[in-house]
């Protein structure tokens, strides 16, 4: 199987195989970028969680040190919000941190729609390529003296598009589910950090309630 034969297969599919190569390239780029980003993010979240677990209540200097030395932008936004607020009630601090999390979550699953689209679109493109290839194969019958094996060979080549579409969809589905699990873990870490910050840096009692009311 050489390059000219692959180009012949692509031509017999009506150019659909070229589109599938582009779709696969886009999917692989998203897989590589999101896998790297989410792996680093969850590892950093684990490190930050361990660092916060060692802080005592209202240790703002310790929290400032963690923010400057260990926090990255996504997690650092939670720490910055906590430091920017004066000692507040659990409800007020929790609501502010939840607002930060809601703004950050869309950054975690960005571009995953490309994989979702790939899983759905690739088999359909493969089917279209096979149908076009079948047209080419059966056109051989209209030629005088056409051999039957020419038709069967054309049908076999046409099925390559369907196989390629299914293969791309399987790869996309595996990584789509895996990356969604990474996103779920990252969101869980953000929620865990929120609870840890609320437990250590919120005030309780009448004073905090009055402050929250203001």
| Highest mean pLDDT: which range of 19-23, 44-48, 181-185, 210-214 | 181-185
Residue 145 or 163, more confident: 163
Residue 205 has pLDDT above 50, yes or no: no
Q: Looking at the whole model, is its pTM more than 0.85? A: no
Nearest residue to 126 via CA among 207, 24, 214: 24
Contact 33, 177 (CB under 8 A): no
Q: At what angle do helices 148-201 and 16-53 cross, to 10 degrees?
A: 20
What pLDDT is recorded for position 88? 79
Bigger pLDDT: 188 or 10? 188
Model pLDDT for residues 118-147, shown as the tens digit of each residue = 999 999 998 988 888 777 777 766 666 655
pLDDT, position 214: 42
pLDDT at 116: 96
79-116 per-position pLDDT tens digit:
998 888 888 788 899 999 999 999 999 999 999 999 99
Q: Look at residue 209 and tell me whether its pLDDT is greater than 50.
A: no
pLDDT at residue 42, rounded to an integer: 92
In this prediction, residue 8 has a pLDDT band, given cuts at 50, 70 and 90, of low
pLDDT higher than 70, residue 35: yes
pLDDT band at 203 (very low <50, low <70, confident <90, very high): confident
pLDDT computed for residue 56 by the predictor: 86
């Amino acid at each position: 199987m050489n390059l000219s034969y692959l180009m012949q297969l692509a031509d017999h599919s009506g150019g659909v195989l070229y589109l599938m190569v582009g779709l696969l390239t886009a999917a692989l780029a998203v897989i590589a970028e999101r896998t790297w980003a989410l792996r680093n993010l969850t590892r950093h979240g684990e490190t930050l969680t361990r660092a916060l677990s060692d802080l005592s209540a209202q240790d703002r200097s310790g929290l400032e040190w963690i923010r400057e030395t260990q926090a990255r932008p996504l997690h650092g936004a939670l720490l910055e919000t906590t430091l920017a607020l004066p000692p507040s009630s659990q409800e007020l601090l929790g609501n502010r941190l939840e607002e930060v999390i809601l703004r950050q979550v869309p950054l975690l699953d960005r571009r995953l729609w490309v994989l979702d689209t790939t899983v759905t679109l690739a088999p359909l493109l493969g089917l279209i390529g096979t149908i076009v290839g079948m047209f080419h194969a059966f056109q051989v019958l209209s030629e005088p003296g056409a051999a039957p094996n020419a038709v069967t060979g054309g049908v076999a080549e046409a099925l390559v598009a369907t196989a390629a579409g299914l293969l791309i969809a399987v790869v996309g589905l595996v990584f789509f589910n895996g990356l969604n699990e990474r996103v779920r873990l990252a969101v869980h870490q953000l929620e865990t950090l929120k609870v840890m910050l609320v437990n250590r840096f919120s005030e309780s009692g009448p004073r905090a309630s009055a402050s929250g009311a203001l």
